[in-house]
Structure 1
Amino acid sequence: MRRRAGLLCGAATALLCALTGAAPSATAAVPDPAPPAAVTQVDIPAGVTAGVAVFDRQTGTFTEQVNSAAQFRSASVVKLLIALDLLWNRTPDSLSAADRSRVDSMLRSSDDNAASYFWSVNGSGAIVDRMVARLGLTDTARPPSTHPGYWGYTALSARATVRIYRWLLDSSPASVRDYVLGNLRQSTRCATDGYDQHFGIAGSFDRPWAVKQGWSGFSSGGCTATAGVVAARSGDGERAADAASVDLARPALHTTGVVGAGDRSVVAVLTLHPTGTAYGKAYSDVGRLTRSLDVPGATRPTGTWIGTWGTGVRVRADATTSATPLTTLPAGVEVLVRCQKRGQEVSVPPYTNDWWAYLPQYGGYMSNIYLATPENQVPGLEVC
């Protein structure tokens, strides 16, 4: 007997299945090109508020701009500014071993404790003020006076995020560029707070890419069975009930970075989701949005995107429950499936299934019983 639920969404039909550096003390700001003459059809799921900007460095033009000047609370994307401020007028090699370890963890695994340390010792909101002036940023401001220690409440827009990356790529000293991007290329699937951070850019495109993600207002993010209620610090996990010009209440999920050979495209997708949205739902919605974008130089992974159900679903090294668990999935998230094979029979009464799906982006298998498809063996999906 097989659970019947959901839709099967292939990569080619994703739209149809969608729910509707030592830096110099003064560096010339990177000029903003004119917006595109026409905006392509970006898939923004129902209920999602998004700010989007995609910049093609080869042509010097934007291929996508949707609400690109709209301000969002930055969540962990502000860690880019924290790192660049720390490295202003100094080389990465000049950092102490402790500080270098903190920066590595902050950029690779979105370490909130590291960000809070640098925020405190380097002037808090003054960090943002300095970087706004240095990079010529628009739509960017320190956290509101009511929440001075909440670095994740820094206001930021998609176009300002693109400008940060363009400065890093084209104007920063090579040592800073290579160090920061080198860390972003080593983004870990699981962040230090237990959230799966390989959504959006990381899930939509094959490497090479470098990403800095952000999330705020969710209770659980996969990766470990107990992950979730550890993010209520001065950044990603905090929410506020007071009114502000920047929405501090709705759950936020952002994907930013560079994509393609030679870091051809800069991508910034900032999103807000309805109150109460589960992390897996937001993760999937940001994935669908990102996959709909015109990103020059990007290579799309092969496979079929399929929804899942259940909580604490494990991805294992082989098609058996005794195989090493690699991670857990955010509840209800869409996954990219490349192929399927028979393995150990799994029972979730009244359902049983001995087919397992291979998830290339996780490098392991999950039981087909948790795929939101009507049959034990996914129709049309090749056998591994």
Structure 2
Amino acid sequence: MGKVSGVFLLVGLCLGAIVAMLVVPRGGSNTPAVAEAASGAAAMSVEPEASEVPISVAAPPSASPPPKKEADPGEPGAIDPKGIAALNPGGQVSVVVYDRTVKKNTVSLQPDRSYTSASLVKILIALQALQDGAPPGTVQRMLSASDDNIASALWSTHGGAAIVTRWAAKIGLTGTRPPEDPGRWGDTRIIAADIAKIYRYVLDQAGATTRTTIMRALSGATESGADGIRQYFGIPDAVGDLPWSIKQGWSCCRGARILHTSGVVGKNDRYIVVVLTSQPTSTTYASGGKRVTDVVKALVPALGEP
């Protein structure tokens, strides 16, 4: 019995050792497994505590670059000023685009450069004539067909050069001056920033009858002016299906050919667009008009609807 007991004791000790080896973890036994998993996870480092159970680390999906942000058509950064200037070689160009929704200029290029107004001054003549009680139909005809004879008659009747001085003070026009020769209303001096202000006044501050009369005339502008010059250059030829209302200006040739396009574009008259140009006298009205149209086409990305 003593020998048998000794044998049982020896067997018991062996079994105990085996159980201890199975139950007690070896120090660092998890580390190789984690390191191996990390090597397959794009060099991802995982350092678990010794008491953690072995884990597997799945490789993350390959990172793809964030989608490129599309340019906002309404951002002024979408417009290249140097590119616009290059569209009128040998001449000068000024541009203002005012967004009435966000209430700020979204494009501004040489807004304070001075030009002769040509027929753009007719908007001021219209404001004064309507205030003085002139027939709306007469004012509309002057604007829609850019009729110089009507403009001359209203200019003389309603104050001449004082019209410019009066409305410049009323609206806050900083670069608008009456002509040196009081009889030559088309030689009124203007800047693009002021023309944009005139449209803002008509749309937002003028009385309802005045606003309706002027805007109805501008939205109904005839393709040819009363003098036979085609006046759909610039805004009408450039903006496609967007609604527009315009007042154009042209004159020649006292040192330069003048071609201006101005008006409102878009739903609810959202954008005020003003493009003033002086061009070499060697250009024709047709070729000069195309230059102005090309400038407005370059501005179309700034006229995006939300």
Q: Same fold (TM over 0.5)?
A: yes
Which of 284, 292, 299 in structure 2 is aligned with 1:278? 284
Distance 2:191 2:277 in 1: 10
2:163 counterpart SS class: helix
Which of 177, 182, 189 in structure 2 is aligned with 1:148? 182
Letter aligned with residue 205 of structure 2:
S
2:75 is equivalent to residue 40 of structure 1:
no
Letter aligned with residue 63 of structure 1:
T
Q: CA deviation at 1:40?
A: 2.6
Which residue of structure 2 lines up, in the alignment, with residue 79 of structure 1? 122
Distance 2:210 2:114 in 1: 27
Letter aligned with residue 258 of structure 2:
A
Which residue of structure 2 lines up, in the alignment, with residue 183 of structure 1? 217
- Contact 2:140/2:216 (<8 A) preserved: no
2:165 is equivalent to residue 129 of structure 1:
yes
- Contact 2:144/2:221 (<8 A) preserved: yes
Which residue of structure 1 lines up, in the alignment, with residue 302 of structure 2? 295
Letter aligned with residue 197 of structure 2:
R
Q: CA deviation at 1:297?
A: 4.4
Letter aligned with residue 139 of structure 2:
V
Structure (1/2) with the larger helix percentage? 2
Divergent runs of 4+, >3 A: 36-39
Q: CA deviation at 1:296?
A: 2.5
Q: CA deviation at 1:148?
A: 1.8
- Contact 1:139/1:160 (<8 A) preserved: yes
- Contact 1:259/1:298 (<8 A) preserved: no
- Contact 1:265/1:297 (<8 A) preserved: no
- Contact 1:261/1:297 (<8 A) preserved: no
Which residue of structure 1 lines up, in the alignment, with residue 154 of structure 2? 118
Letter aligned with residue 66 of structure 1:
L
Letter aligned with residue 52 of structure 1:
V
- Contact 1:39/1:63 (<8 A) preserved: no
Letter aligned with residue 238 of structure 2:
S
Distance 1:185 1:78 in 2: 17
Structure (1/2) with the larger strand percentage? 1
Q: CA RMSD in A?
A: 1.9
- Contact 1:76/1:110 (<8 A) preserved: yes
- Contact 1:264/1:297 (<8 A) preserved: no
Letter aligned with residue 183 of structure 1:
A
Q: CA deviation at 1:276?
A: 1.6
> Highest CA radius of gyration, 1 or 2?
2
2:206 is equivalent to residue 193 of structure 1:
no
The change in CA–CA distance for 1:52 and 1:37 in structure 2 (over 3 A counts) is closer
2:217 counterpart SS class: helix
The change in CA–CA distance for 1:39 and 1:53 in structure 2 (over 3 A counts) is farther
Which of 151, 158, 169 in structure 1 is aligned with 2:192? 158
Per-residue deviation, residues 68-121 of structure 1 (Å, max 9, x unmatched): 011100000000000011123x6xxx54xxx43321211100000000001111
Per-residue deviation, residues 315-367 of structure 1 (Å, max 9, x unmatched): xxxxxxxxxxxxxxxxxxxxxxxxxxxxxxxxxxxxxxxxxxxxxxxxxxxxx
Instruction: Please identify, of 49-58 and 171-180, the stretch whose mean Cα deviation from structure 2 is larger.
Output: 171-180
2:79 counterpart SS class: coil
Letter aligned with residue 204 of structure 1:
A
Q: How is 1:190-269 mapped onto 2 (pairs within 5 angstroms)? A: 190-205=224-239, 206-217=241-252, 239-240=253-254, 249-269=255-275
Question: TM-score normalized by structure 1?
Answer: 0.56
2:94 counterpart SS class: strand
The change in CA–CA distance for 1:135 and 1:197 in structure 2 (over 3 A counts) is same
Give unmatched runs, 5+ long, in structure 1. Answer: 1-35, 218-238, 241-248, 300-384
- Contact 2:263/2:273 (<8 A) preserved: yes
- Contact 2:117/2:186 (<8 A) preserved: yes
The change in CA–CA distance for 1:295 and 1:39 in structure 2 (over 3 A counts) is closer
Q: How many residues align?
A: 226
1:78 counterpart SS class: helix
Distance 2:220 2:286 in 1: 23
Letter aligned with residue 259 of structure 1:
V
2:108 is equivalent to residue 65 of structure 1:
yes
Give unmatched runs, 5+ long, in structure 2. Answer: 1-74
